[in-house]
Amino acid sequence: MTDPRAAKSRPGLQTDAAKGRYHHGDLREALITAAMELVLERGAENFTLADACRRAGVSTAAPYKHFRDRDEVLEIVLQRGFDLMTEEADAAVAQAGPGTFAAMIALNKHYVLFAIKRPSLFKLMFGQSPELKQADLVLEQGQDCFGRVVKHFADYCEAAGIAEDPMQVCLRTWTFVHGLASLKIDEDYDAVAPDLDHMALLTDTLPLLLQDGMASGAR
Amino acid sequence: MTDPRAAKSRPGLQTDAAKGRYHHGDLREALITAAMELVLERGAENFTLADACRRAGVSTAAPYKHFRDRDEVLEIVLQRGFDLMTEEADAAVAQAGPGTFAAMIALNKHYVLFAIKRPSLFKLMFGQSPELKQADLVLEQGQDCFGRVVKHFADYCEAAGIAEDPMQVCLRTWTFVHGLASLKIDEDYDAVAPDLDHMALLTDTLPLLLQDGMASGAR
DNA sequence: TTGGTATGTTACAGGCACTTACTTAGTTAG
DNA sequence: CTAACTAAGTAAGTGCCTGTAACATACCAA
């Protein structure tokens, strides 16, 4: 297994980047990077493999040496999105202090901010037709990400003395923040409540959702 | 093949079957109907004007006599989606009794059921890129729909003696049910909680959201 | 009847996904 | 060191889609 990235230096010829060479060097990674950029810029629906090829400086047939089809590229972008989200979410909780109410605020705020900062990626991760998310690797990625979140909720529930199943609390809170993030980035609030302070809506509602649902007289 | 949908022709014109005729009769409406069907069947992303033409039995250039472009057809489908949703929602509330808690359950359940029954249409209405929703007519349609919902919430708040602004209650409840509907139809729950009873999640959480946020000790 | 307009048609330009057949760079065996 | 093999590019071509242009036909009105 030779690392393709190691074969960068070729004596006698241009020491510069892949410019002018027949072989690219690491086209697979270059295409994934281009795809991520294009998805962030224009959305997954408007992403074309041809654009990514132009950005990487290769012909439109080249990707098929590295990927099954357009969808596989999007699958990988999607995966990396979950990586990034998991990483950032963990950091947010760590900084706020695991088990604290502040950590719950930070975790859920992060979810919304992630969506606002990268709406197209967020939509690709959660909103796309199931075909893309069917892939086993992608499924795992999502499960890992969610598993960590449930853990953070469990920490809080224990610290706050909430008897309800943390999974349940997590699911209903996720549902709310996912709705918030979606309605915000799809600009659905704008048509109806243009002055809405969506972060205030989040911080105001979280206490309602984090209380013990069993003890609240629901039903 | 005589198209049964073409049966209702414009008055004064030939009312016979469209077969073999040079003029269609009501191509505009036929294309919208075909578009709605195709969106429901395969989703807006996979909708092609060419498919709609085949279904209506005309050439692929014909639509441009009636619509600006593909997007205008989708805009109209989207509009009709809001019509349908408004109509159904009103009916659900009327049946449960306006102002009652049962009406709140019915209204929010309807939102989720609408999404489950017509996931592609729901995504077109709320999830599509803003370009489609920018059109003034579409915006109005959405505002009308939401205005009715706020009214139902106001009825309930008054009857239940909730001092909080009904708009606020409505916005946070909408946010939750929208998240529920989205996560359900995008199959995001499946990866993570395959056995989730989403309707129970709705009925369990609604009481938490409908309580008076000002009086609940939030914050 | 006669022309005008609305509503069809065919033909075409341009773009994209993906395939096939070919070429070249880089690796490895003798 | 060379020859052969393999990996990774390219060009050209298919088929499908959107949208445009030029043309044809049905309906309408005077």
3-state secondary structure chain B: CCCHHHHCCCCCCCCCCCCCCCCCCCHHHHHHHHHHHHHHHHCCCCCCHHHHHHHHCCCCCHHHHCCCCHHHHHHHHHHHHHHHHHHHHHHHHHHHCCCCHHHHHHHHHHHHHHHHHCHHHHHHHHCCCHHHHHCHHHHHHHHHHHHHHHHHHHHHHHHHCCCCCHHHHHHHHHHHHHHHHHHHHCCCCCCCCCCCCHHHHHHHHHHHHHCCCCCCCCC
Q: How far apart are CA B129 and CA B63, in angstroms?
A: 23
pLDDT for residue A216: 52
Share of chain B above pLDDT 90, in %: 79
Measure A57 CA to D19 C1' (Å): 29
Higher pLDDT, residue B127 or B8: B127
pLDDT for residue B103: 98
For residue B62, give the nucleotide whose C1' atom is nearest its CA: C8
pLDDT digits (tens, 9 = 90+) for B97-139: 999 999 999 999 999 999 999 999 999 999 987 788 988 889 9
Mark yes or no for CB contact A175/B179 under 8 Å.
yes
Share of chain A above pLDDT 70, in %: 87
- Crossing angle of helices A166-185 and B166-185, in 10° steps, is 100
pLDDT for residue A131: 84
Find residues whose C-beta atom lies within 7 angstroms of strand D: A 4, 22-25, 27, 57-62, 65-66; B 12-14, 21-23, 47-51, 60-61, 64, 69-71
Measure A56 CA to C20 C1' (Å): 23
Q: How far apart are CA B129 and CA B115, in angstroms?
A: 18
pLDDT for residue B9: 31
Across chain A, mean pLDDT equals 89
pLDDT digits (tens, 9 = 90+) for A184-195: 999 999 999 999
pLDDT for residue B216: 52
pLDDT at B176 over 60: yes
The mean per-residue pLDDT over the stretch A117-138 comes to 92
Chain A residue with the nearest C-alpha to that of B137: A191
Q: Which residue has the tokens 């004064």?
A: B12
pLDDT-derived band at B3, boundaries 50, 70, 90: very low
pLDDT digits (tens, 9 = 90+) for B50-77: 999 999 999 999 999 999 999 999 999 9
pLDDT-derived band at B215, boundaries 50, 70, 90: low
Chain A residues in contact with B129 (beta carbon < 8 A)? 43, 45
Mark yes or no for CB contact B175/A180 under 8 Å.
yes
pLDDT digits (tens, 9 = 90+) for A156-189: 999 999 999 999 999 999 999 999 999 999 999 9
Chain B residues in contact with A183 (beta carbon < 8 A)? 126, 174-175, 178
Across chain B, mean pLDDT equals 89
pLDDT at A207 over 90: yes
pLDDT at A6 over 60: no
Chain B residues in contact with A204 (beta carbon < 8 A)? 172, 213, 218-219
